[in-house]
Amino acid sequence: MKKAATVLKSNSIRVTPQRLGVYKLLREEKRHFSAEEVYAKVKNHFPAISLATVYSILELLKEKDLASEVRINLDKASFEAKKNEHHHFLCKKCGEIFDIHIELCPTLKRRETQGHSIDKFQGYFYGVCKNCRGK
């Protein structure tokens, strides 16, 4: 895997420690983070970083297609490093988000439906996760 700094540069993002910190966090821990969580984590390395900076870095990574925002939670956004198209599952007990890798049916893969042209499709699943089942 390419070094994080190289990826940023090749996307014409000026490399700063804060940006590197946020991007590496998303790439290395392969889970979903709220902006607050990113802030808390990155703060360990850069105590002076501010929440607003975290938001602006996340926005930048989104624009450059290095991160994506998931809105399966009703109250706040989650962020993850960009991966192949996949879908999400939200556990209503523990609140954790899981990636769902499922091959979608042809109907959902169409790039057009009812006259609308489709750029992107996101599948959101809700239920109880395997850890919480039987508790």
Instruction: List contacts with DNA (CB under 7 A).
Output: 9, 13-19, 34-36, 46, 48-53, 55-57, 59, 75-77
What does the alpha-carbon distance between residue 33 and residue 78 come to, in Å, rounded to a whole number? 5
Stretch that binds a second copy, among 4-12, 22-30, 45-53, 125-133 (CB under 8 A): 125-133
Of a second copy, DNA, none, which one sits near residue 91, judging by CB under 5 to 8 A according to partner kind?
a second copy
- Sequence letter at residue 118: I
Minimum distance from residue 66 beta carbon to DNA (Å) = 14
* b (16+ CB within 10 A) / e for 113-130: eeeeeeeeeeeeeeeebe
HSE-CB of 55 using CA atoms within 13 angstroms: 6
Q: Which residues bind a second copy (CB under 8 A)?
A: 69, 71-72, 74, 77, 89, 91-92, 98, 100-108, 113-130, 133
